[in-house]
Amino acid sequence: MTSPSIVWFRQDLRLADQAAVAAAHAGGPWIGVYVLDDETAEHRAMGAAQRWWLHHSLTSLGRDLAGKGGRLVLRRGRAADELDKVAGAIGADTVHALRHYEPWWKQAETALPPGLTLRLYDGNRLAPPEGVLTGSRGRYRIFTPYWRALKEQMPPCRPQPAPKEVNAPHVGIAEASLADWDLLPTCPDWAGGFAIWTPGEAGAREALDQFLPVLDHYDTDRDRPSVEGTSRLSPHLHFGEISPATLWYRAAGQARGKAEPWLRQLGWRDFCANIIDILPDYGDTNGRELWDSMAWRQGAAADRDFRAWTRGRTGYPIVDAGMRELWATGFMHNRVRMIAASFLIKHLLIDWRRGERWFWDTLVDADHGSNAVNWQWVAGTGVDSNPFGRIMAPLVQSPKFDAGGYIRSWVSELSDVEGEAIHDPYGAGLAPSGYPPPIIGHREARERALAAKTGI
């Protein structure tokens, strides 16, 4: 008889277009295993918002597998150790898995015992980052040439359907209970606003179906937070509930040439994986050493300002709306993410790493590569980044991108402010009681930031 094998699920919680599932299915009986491994990840263990999503995504995957006759085994501990135990229990000698680029996943892969054969497959990116090379066979560190080279390899392989049924070995295996992992908040339950999401493979397909009809307008609407112009597929992609290839073919089929601005965002996600594959500590270390001597603000005043930023109490309506949306839903509109990040770094002169960690804990889509690369891009510290001297002016950005409706939705104190005053209620003399004044003036903040830059 064919020995059973294991599919090691990580950030690829789907059955359709899942190369590890397809390989295991072709080889005979198999069982799915998910290991909650906080030990290998150490300080990069999942944040609280991601854990909420994980609970519901694993529930969905387990249900989908059971419906096909399969099984999802949950374990907690070091992934290499737990996979070895499950393999021993079912007599497996092969582990199938999709390739990941986060350093802790690579560490877990190398820690598997010699008796287990690990077979890795592509499928969580449009193309393997190590396969997108310069003419001299080097790795790209700048996005635009990377995107040109990636497009030359497109389209990706056509997505494959999920198996209709799963042949799972019928053996007793000790496993964890999802409820015992305490992934959901209880005291207090801060996730009430997360009800807007439907984690899981079916939820990802539904989100894609909702987005495709407005894809033609993505290039003009994506920067307007008051309009549903973005796909909101990022958490589904982060947890691998839908494949990039599926998104590529559906989007290109729907909008053809007009799909490129959105497909470019998929390419950016690939580029971010490429950067952390080259520079695995990119979430903790400046991409350019020059910035190691930057005098970021520290101490009680900086801590006070950081708390105001996290709570959406800066006195800058578009920043506060974004931070409150983040806390309520685990998500923030992409344009507003840039504005909020720039405000923390340049207006408040606080180290980008503090903001990156806050997003890591509060975003449901806190992808390691994208989070690190985006923060360093805004900060000007990255290998490919916006110059530090380009300081976003929130009071200009807000009317430019018509953020009034967005602000009224998330900053309750400003819900009755009419017209253009919504963008700068203090400047218009219409600030309601209870809404804080600007934590710092834009000109003062700009001058302080530029002065700090000259010191490095």
Structure tokens at 239: 């947890």
What's residue 268's pLDDT?
Answer: 98
Average pLDDT over residues 184-202: 96
Percentage of the chain surpassing pLDDT 90?
A: 96
Cα angle for residues 4, 74, 16 (degrees, 5° grid): 65
All residues at 6 or more sequence positions from 413 whose CB lies less than 8 Å from its CB, including other chains: 432, 434, 435
What's residue 61's pLDDT?
Answer: 98
What's residue 172's pLDDT?
Answer: 87
261: helix, strand or coil? helix
User: HSE on the CB side for 331, CA within 13 Å?
Assistant: 20
What's residue 174's pLDDT?
Answer: 84
Provide the H-helix boundaries in 256-299: 260-278
The secondary element (H helix, E strand) that includes residue 8 is: strand 5-9
Yes or no: say if 121 and 99 are a contact pair by the CB < 8 Å rule: yes
Per-position DSSP letters for 211-259, written without gaps between them: HGGGGGGHHHHTT-TTS--S---HHHHHTTSS-HHHHHHHHHHHHGGGG
Structure tokens at 345: 């770094």
Per-position DSSP letters for 128-146, written without gaps between them: -GGG-B-TTS-B--SHHHH
Number of H helices, E strands in the chain: 19, 5
Distance separating alpha carbons of residues 153 and 130, to the nearest angstrom: 13
What's residue 72's pLDDT?
Answer: 97
User: HSE on the CB side for 270, CA within 13 Å?
Assistant: 35
What's residue 171's pLDDT?
Answer: 87
Query: Chain-wide mean pLDDT for the chain?
Result: 97
Q: Where are the beta strands (DSSP E) in 11-141?
A: 30-36, 72-76, 94-98, 117-121
Note the pLDDT tens digit of each residue in 150-183.
Answer: 999 999 999 999 999 999 998 888 888 999 999 9
Strand 72-76 relative to strand 117-121, pairing: unpaired
Q: Does residue 1 surpass a pLDDT of 70?
A: no
What's residue 407's pLDDT?
Answer: 98
Average pLDDT over residues 117-144: 97
Structure tokens at 29: 């009986």
All residues at 6 or more sequence positions from 156 whose CB lies less than 8 Å from its CB, including other chains: 126, 127, 244, 245, 248
Residue 321 binned pLDDT confidence (cut-offs 50, 70, 90) = very high
Distance separating alpha carbons of residues 108 and 368, to the nearest angstrom: 16
Which residues in 150-174 are b (16+ Cβ under 10 Å) and which e? Answer: bbeeeebeebbebbeebbbbeeeee
What's residue 429's pLDDT?
Answer: 96
What's residue 341's pLDDT?
Answer: 98
DSSP state of 188: T
Other Cβ atoms less than 10 A from the Cβ of 440: the count is: 18
The residues facing 31 across adjacent strands are 6
Amino acid at site 10: R
Distance separating alpha carbons of residues 101 and 122, to the nearest angstrom: 11
Note the pLDDT tens digit of each residue in 234-286.
Answer: 999 999 999 999 999 999 999 889 999 999 999 999 999 999 999 999 999 99
Set out the domains of the chain in order of their start, with CATH numbers.
5-123 (3.40.50.620), 125-158+200-278 (1.25.40.80), 289-454 (1.10.579.10)
All residues at 6 or more sequence positions from 431 whose CB lies less than 8 Å from its CB, including other chains: 425, 437
Cis peptide leading into 155, omega within 30 of 0? yes
What's residue 175's pLDDT?
Answer: 87
Average pLDDT over residues 435-449: 97
76: helix, strand or coil? strand
Yes or no: say if 74 and 177 are a contact pair by the CB < 8 Å rule: yes
Note the pLDDT tens digit of each residue in 208-227.
Answer: 999 999 999 999 999 999 99
